[in-house]
Amino acid sequence: MTKDMMIKGLSEFIASKGVDTMDLKTYKSFGNDVPVKDYLLKRYFGSWNRVLSVVKKRYPISVAPVEVKVEKPAPKPKAKKEVKDVKK
């Protein structure tokens, strides 16, 4: 597997997760689901930050922003004031 193939696979993997970048701890947490093991990437590129910079340069990751819809709670009805007749 060439360096270019590794970077392309990593770029597609990160994009499939819907994020722009991923730290090493998160990448390792996916276990065997990753396309390239982290130690191979670090061996060829030196550090995780360098791996990410090469990904951004060669295969930029473009993730569409996800719109989060927040429903507003229904307004509570106002309590009616009780008017007491004070005339006697």
The pLDDT of 2-25, averaged and rounded, is: 90
The answer to whether residue 59 scores a pLDDT higher than 60 is: yes
Apex 14 CA angle, 71 and 28, nearest 5: 105
Q: What is the pLDDT of residue 64?
A: 62
Pick the range with the lowest mean pLDDT from 5-19, 35-49, 68-82: 68-82
Q: pLDDT class for 73, splitting at 50, 70, 90? A: confident
Q: What is the pLDDT of residue 53?
A: 92
For the beta carbon of residue 11, count every other beta carbon within 10 angstroms: 19
Q: What is the pLDDT of residue 67?
A: 64
